[in-house]
Amino acid sequence: MKSRRSFLQKLTLSAASIPFVAPSLARDFSEISTTEAYQGPILRVAIMGLGSYGTRVAEAMKDCKKAKLVGVISGTPSKVTEWQSKYNIPAKNCYNYENFDAIKDNPDIDAVYIITPNSQHKDQTIRVARAGKHVICEKPMGLNAKEGREMVAECKKANVHLLVGYRMRFEGNTLEVVRMRREGELGKIMFFQGLSGFRIGDPTQWRLNKELAGGGAMMDIGIYSVNGARYMVGEEPIWVTAQETKTDPVKFKPGVDETIQFQFGFPSGAVASCLSTYNMNGLDKFYLNGEKGFAEMQPSTGYGPIQGRTHKGPLDKPHITHQTVQMDEMSDIILAGKKPVLPVDGEEGLKDLIIIDAIYKAVKTGKKVALNLT
């Protein structure tokens, strides 16, 4: 993906001392022209986990107007040194996994973006919250709903935001389909299809380790169809059925799913049919069918550009690097109290974990599993 590598910063404020901008001072940032220098508060972020996706976020943040990378947390000293130089990060904002609780006493960091293996999310989220910093956590938010509930509760107790890295909930073409559905242009929604998958490589990576990942494809790529079904249909599912297929039990050990097909039912009568896999390439498609029209997106959740069409013609919103948009929007949520079109808070992350727990239960029992997310 291309990065325009421009950054305009005029004012730095601490989210710890000024957590919200008064409504009377809030601006409709969508109306700011590309030539106008942003004058509002900046969300100062430390990234925890300096792997490939952490790097992607860091590069994307170079184009942010409302968020800035100011710190790092890593267990690899060489990476810390490299990032210090590359992103001009002061030594006082660098931590490891043992000492990062000390961010409590660092007024120059407002939030921590956790981009580590799934099994570490809960404990790291709780430690960041107890240090008084806002939390942005990559998906899945935790290993299961039990962990998710603990994370939500701890962040509420600490009075900090818990947001989840649902970048697609800010993407232009995705939001256009949501708008069409909400305004009745598709009519009554009848059916959703979500296909999420790729052929995974290195068999020794952490994503194929149940202790670190909490599962297999479902916890990594399948969650896109779980989450997408919810915001595309606009309802919460009330039941799920699921079936697992495993063709390579050596690569995909017990507890690490290779391929799962799963189905949802919704209160309106709409249904969904989805596929999550680590063994098929080219699966990145959403299809939404209503009585008056349809929307089809392929690719639907990749890094972009997202492409698709509806019964009215092509989807043509401009592509902007997803992580750039996400971090600017999250700055608005945390610092300006903005309510996004599609929420990305911890409660949303918890709902996905409840559904994934039910999918695994349906696979194990072969039975329809009831859901209650309201």
For the chain, what is the total number of helices (H) and then of strands (E)? Answer: 10, 15
Query: Which one is catalytic: 65, 68, 133, 139?
Result: 139
Identify whether 224 is a catalytic site residue.
Answer: yes
Query: Cα–Cα distance between 77 and 85 in angstroms, integer?
Result: 13
Task: For the chain, give every domain's residue range.
Answer: 23-167, 168-318+344-370
Q: Where are the beta strands (DSSP E) in the chain?
A: 43-48, 67-73, 94-95, 111-114, 134-137, 162-164, 189-197, 239-245, 259-265, 271-277, 283-290, 294-297, 308-310, 313-314, 369-370
Query: Which one is catalytic: 95, 224, 287, 360?
Result: 224
Give the model's pLDDT for residue 57. 98
* Residues pairing with 275 in the sheet: 195, 261
* Residues pairing with 159 in the sheet: none
Give the model's pLDDT for residue 16. 37
150-177 burial, b if ≥16 CB within 10 A, otherwise e? bbbebbeebebbbbbbbbbbbbbbbbbb
Q: Exposed, middle or buried: residue 212 (CB in 10 Å: 0-12, 13-18, 19+)? A: middle
Give the model's pLDDT for residue 3. 39
pLDDT profile of the chain (374 residues), mean per 10: 37 37 35 64 98 98 98 98 98 98 98 98 98 98 98 98 98 98 98 98 97 98 98 98 98 98 98 98 98 98 97 98 98 98 98 98 98 92
Residue type at position 172? G
Give the model's pLDDT for residue 339. 98
Identify whether 139 is a catalytic site residue.
Answer: yes
The answer to whether the beta carbons of residues 4 and 63 sit under 8 Å apart is: yes
Query: Candidates 3.30.360.10, 3.30.70.580, 3.40.50.620, 3.30.420.40; correct CATH number of 168-318+344-370?
Result: 3.30.360.10
Fold category of 23-167 in CATH: Rossmann fold (3.40.50)
Query: Cα–Cα distance between 303 and 285 in angstroms, integer?
Result: 13
Question: Which residue's structure tokens are 């709780």?
Answer: 126
Least Cα distance to 93 among 104, 103, 83 occurs for: 103
Residue 143's SS3 state is coil
Q: What is the pTM of this model?
A: 0.90
Give the model's pLDDT for residue 36. 73
Question: Which residue's structure tokens are 């239960």?
Answer: 361
Torsion sign across C-alpha atoms 214, 216, 218, 223: positive
The answer to whether the beta carbons of residues 175 and 167 sit under 8 Å apart is: no
